[in-house]
Homo-oligomer: A and B are copies of this chain.
Amino acid sequence: MKNYTTIKDISNLSETIKEAILLKMNPFEFQDLGKNKTLVMLFFNSSLRTRLSTEKAAKNLGMDVMILNINDAWNLEFEDGTVMNVNTSEHIKEAAQVISQYADIIAVRAFPTLEDKAKDESEYVLNNFQKYASVPIINMESATAHPLQAMADAITISELTEKKTPKVVLSWAPHPKALPQAVANSFVEMMQDLDVDLTITHPKGYELNPEITRNSTINYDQEDALKDADFVYVKNWSNYNDYGKILSQDENWMMTKAKLGKAKFMHCLPVRRNVVVEDAVLDSGQSVVIEQANNRTFAAQVVLKQLLENI
């Protein structure tokens, strides 16, 4: 692995999942690998799980970690040729090259604007870091993708499935705030690469990027979609077509115990209780959200391990 900006960077998914599960059993086994190696984590947006799990993963491997929460004092310029006489004080060309000298791996979190679709889809923050950095880049959730979360999800399903080809349903849920499509995008892409039977369900008009979903089943009837599901991944996203807008807050799309049937309930967290999913689901043994969050550490650790082995 040379970078981990999308799940397409994984060369062998099933081997990687197995390796993550081995790391989980013995997290401190490879502490020599990270010795005198530094992970710089750059947060353009705040973070709880990603921050702690990735930092923990790096330290499990013996790495040093340096964390920068980017604030208004550091406005990066991403355009070429700009006369930088207004707000931006440093160009990504310098920033990425400079940080590369203090880091062996750089991890970046940068959310979408949810206003300018073309700009978001260009992944200008992440891609410019990758373009100008001289060290590997890890995506800690970008405008359109969250591959560390998708890796944790894949590990969780692999650990818990009782079938060779489980039925997995991605079910949209209402939410009071406009959220990115990143988690849903990476989850769909990851499921397409796993041996699962994936169905996506959401209100009409809430289609994700069709380039991502084109090989997957979409069923607008939530009840029908959920039938015989083994894993139900619930997630809100704001509208992709009418970009970044909230067109529905239909409470009927909230996940309930009745709808869930015998399936395992998955969510990336944080989750708004009794909006996205009712208490009865989260407080039941069918919820695996805590285990998913636990697997964030080993998702990050297997990625860091593979990157370190390639340095």
CB pair B38–A98 under 8 Å, yes or no, is: no
| Binary B-proximity of A94-110 (CB < 8 A = 1, otherwise 0) | 11011101110000000
**Interface presence of A56 (CB below 8 A):** yes
CB pair A94–B289 under 8 Å, yes or no, is: yes
- What's the nearest-Cβ distance from chain B to residue A143, in Å? 18
A27 — which chain B residues lie within 8 A by C-beta?
36
Interface residue ranges of A113-149 to B (CB < 8 Å): none
Stretch at the interface among A184-192, A205-213, A268-276: A268-276
Contact of A46 among B64, B71, B176, B274 (CB under 8 A): B71
Complex Cα distance A85/B282, Å?
16
**Interface presence of A30 (CB below 8 A):** no
Complex Cα distance A98/B275, Å?
20
CB pair B93–A282 under 8 Å, yes or no, is: yes
CB pair B293–A176 under 8 Å, yes or no, is: no
Interface residue ranges of A22-72 to B (CB < 8 Å): 27-28, 36, 38, 40, 45-46, 48-49, 51-53, 55-56, 59-60, 64, 66, 68, 71
CB pair B102–A53 under 8 Å, yes or no, is: yes
CB pair B290–A89 under 8 Å, yes or no, is: no
Residue of B nearest to A46 (CB): B73
CB pair A97–B64 under 8 Å, yes or no, is: no
Complex Cα distance A101/B292, Å?
11
Supposing A52-B102, A289-B94 touch, asked if A38 and B59 sit within 8 A by C-beta, the answer is yes
A38 — which chain B residues lie within 8 A by C-beta?
56, 59
Supposing A40-B52, A59-B38, A290-B97 touch, asked if A274 and B68 sit within 8 A by C-beta, the answer is no
**Interface presence of A86 (CB below 8 A):** yes
- What's the nearest-Cβ distance from chain B to residue A238, in Å? 15
- What's the nearest-Cβ distance from chain B to residue A297, in Å? 7
**Interface presence of A81 (CB below 8 A):** yes
Complex Cα distance A97/B279, Å?
15
CB pair B48–A85 under 8 Å, yes or no, is: no
Supposing A74-B46, A94-B289, A297-B102 touch, asked if A59 and B53 sit within 8 A by C-beta, the answer is no
Contact of A272 among B52, B66, B85 (CB under 8 A): B85
CB pair B94–A271 under 8 Å, yes or no, is: yes
**Interface presence of A91 (CB below 8 A):** yes
**Interface presence of A82 (CB below 8 A):** yes
Contact of A98 among B28, B59, B282, B290 (CB under 8 A): B290
Residue of B nearest to A175 (CB): B85
Interchain residue pairs A-B with the least CB separation, the first 6: A90-B270, A84-B272, A46-B73, A83-B274, A98-B293, A101-B294
A–B Cβ pairs within 8 angstroms, 18 of them: A36-B60, A40-B52, A45-B73, A48-B68, A48-B95, A48-B99, A51-B66, A53-B102, A56-B64, A59-B64, A84-B273, A88-B272, A89-B272, A90-B271, A94-B270, A95-B270, A98-B294, A101-B290
Q: A27-B36, A48-B95 are known contacts; what are 18 more A-B pairs with Cβ within 8 Å? A: A28-B36, A38-B56, A45-B73, A46-B74, A48-B99, A55-B66, A56-B64, A56-B66, A56-B102, A84-B273, A89-B272, A91-B271, A94-B270, A94-B271, A94-B290, A94-B293, A101-B290, A101-B294
